[in-house]
Each structure stands twice: as C-alpha cells, then as structure tokens.
Amino acid sequence: MVRSTAVTREPVRRFRLDVEGVGTQVLEAGPESDSEAALFVHGNPGSRLDWEDLVTRTGAEGIRAIAFDLPGFGESDKPADFPATVPDYAAYIERARPLLGLDRVHLVVHDFGGPIGLTWAGTHAEAVASLTIVNAPPVSGYRWYLLAHVWRTPVAGELLHRTLTRRTFMTVTRRGNPRGLPQAFLDRMWRDYDAGTRRTVIKLYRATDARRASPIPPERFRELDWPVLVVWGMHDVYIPFRFAELHRQAFPAATYVQLADSGHFPMADDPEGLAAAVVPFLRRMHARSTTTGPDTQ
C-alpha cells in the first residue's frame, strides 16, 4: 500500500492510493480510523468528485465517508491492459477495501457504479451494512440507450470518440436536466474524458450485457435483505424511472425517494435534494449498525 499524506485541510482529506500497481485518487471525510464507512462508487463518465458534496456532508455527521476514482476514470491510473469489466472493477473495490481499513460498508452507487458496486456487494455480503442506489441500472432487465449502442459498436464507437468535440460532449451530458448542470461540473467531466477514459468506456460497455448488468442474480439480493434506499432524478433520459422500479426485483422492501426536478446527475443538479434523502438514511443505518452490531443487520 502506498498512501500519500493528505494535501488539503479538513473536512475532506485527499490522497493517492496504490492498489496492486493501479493508483487512484481518494476523497475521505469523517473519523479516519473507523472500520465502517460510507463508500461512494461513481459511474460513467464520472469520478470521485461526483461525490464530494455528499462525502463532506456525511463526514460532518461523524460517519467516515470515502470515494475513489475507478481505474480508467477521473485522475486514476488508466492502464491500457486493465480489463474494465464489471467483475474486474468489483475485484478492484475488494482489493482497495483492506488498504482503506474497511470492514463494513454503507454502499452508495450511481450509474455504472450500480452494477460494479452490486457485484462487489453480492460476493462480499458480510461487508455490507446498507445500500443506496442513485439513478443506476437494475441488476437485470435494463436496456441500453442510443449512445451506449454506439459505444458498443466496433468502429462506430472509436469514430465517435475520435471526432468528439467539447460542444457535443456538453450537449449530450446536459440532456434531461431541467435545472441545468453547473458549468464547473461539465468542465471537470470534459477534462477527465481523455483518451484513457474513452478507451475504458468502450471496453466496459462492450463487456457488459445490459439485460444482466451484474452477474449476481436478483434472488441472491432478496435473500440478503439489506436496508436499501433508491433515490431517482425523475428526468433521467439514460436510465428512466421505469428501470428504477425494476430494482424491486432484487430489493422488494427498498424505500424510494423521487427528485422531481432532477435528471441523471442529482449530485450536480439537485445536491440539496439528494443530501436530504441520503444523509439521514446513512445516519440511521450507521447508528443502527453501531448499536446492534453486524450480526443483527
């Protein structure tokens, strides 16, 4: 493990973590020594910075909160030979977990972080204390949107990336966000969407079957019966709300919160609404876990 000293003041700590030769950048807040934490997993084309507001707010509640860049995204390493499959990303999370000193996790996922995080969780159920899903595909029954079909098509995906302009990227990313997205959020996504990330996106989409986004079947999650919160920006054009309802196949007792004026990126276009749903849930789940212990979850 190689962990540099933090380079910014509290409440958010920032450092680099080396995970078996593939480095990532980490955000962390709250009690540094706690072995139970909220772990935030971003999607495409996101990064740990998607979660900075929620990591900060969660840490302020006295709960350790962590987000890191998945390989190929944000400011992580982007090795050409990284497999970029859902199971390989799940395995990366598991390799990072002991380096971060985590025994139990309150998992929070968005977009492609859903299949990735759920695949990790389904194979390490003893480490999961609760689950929060934010505009992420269900484990089965999802269908790709038009842009995903392009990425999955040989030659067409590469041609799209070769000809992609900043203006086109901004237009596509803004779709379905009635409040608009902050310019700083868009600028950061464009900055991170470099050649390494474009290569990663194509590999990930071509390796994933939307109909079974996670290899873990829904019935496995029903057996586990975790506390689950589903939060949805209702104007999402990439993962419309009808797919949110499919999460009930795996999590029939989940609590749903709808963000009426938000799109695919609630953390950017409705951070207050998202925090109002997620932070109290994490507070309750953390209190329940520390009071009752893992065996009664």
Tell me the two tokens of residue 171: 């237009």
Q: Summarize pLDDT for 39-95 with one digit per residue, the tens.
A: 999 999 999 999 999 999 999 999 999 999 999 999 999 999 999 999 999 999 999
Residues listed for the chain:
297
Query: What average pLDDT does the segment 226-249 reach?
Result: 97
Asked if pLDDT for residue 10 goes beyond 80, the answer is no
pTM for the full model? 0.94
Q: Summarize pLDDT for 119-138 with one digit per residue, the tens.
A: 999 999 999 999 999 999 99
Query: What average pLDDT does the segment 246-271 reach?
Result: 97
For 235, list phi and psi in degrees, rounded to 5.
-100, 15
Q: Summarize pLDDT for 142-156 with one digit per residue, the tens.
A: 999 999 999 999 999
Contacts of 100 (CB under 8 A, 6+ apart): 17, 26, 37, 66
The pLDDT, as a whole number, for residue 13 is 97
Asked if pLDDT for residue 293 goes beyond 80, the answer is no
In this structure, the strands spanning 104-110 and 64-68 are unpaired
Query: What average pLDDT does the segment 227-251 reach?
Result: 97
| Phi-psi label, residue 30: left if phi above 0, alpha if psi -120 to 50, beta otherwise | left
Peptide bond into 11 cis (omega under 30): yes
The pLDDT, as a whole number, for residue 294 is 53
Asked if residue 210 lies in contact with residue 224, where contact means CB atoms within 8 angstroms, the answer is no
CATH number belonging to domain 12-290: 3.40.50.1820
Domain boundaries, the chain: 12-290
Asked if residue 76 lies in contact with residue 22, where contact means CB atoms within 8 angstroms, the answer is yes
Instruction: Give the pLDDT band of residue 295 (cuts 50, 70, 90).
Output: very low
Instruction: Give the pLDDT band of residue 6 (cuts 50, 70, 90).
Output: very low
The pLDDT, as a whole number, for residue 292 is 66
Using alpha carbons, select from 123, 137, 136, 125 the residue that is nearest to residue 40: 136
Count of C-beta atoms within a 10 Å radius of residue 183: 9
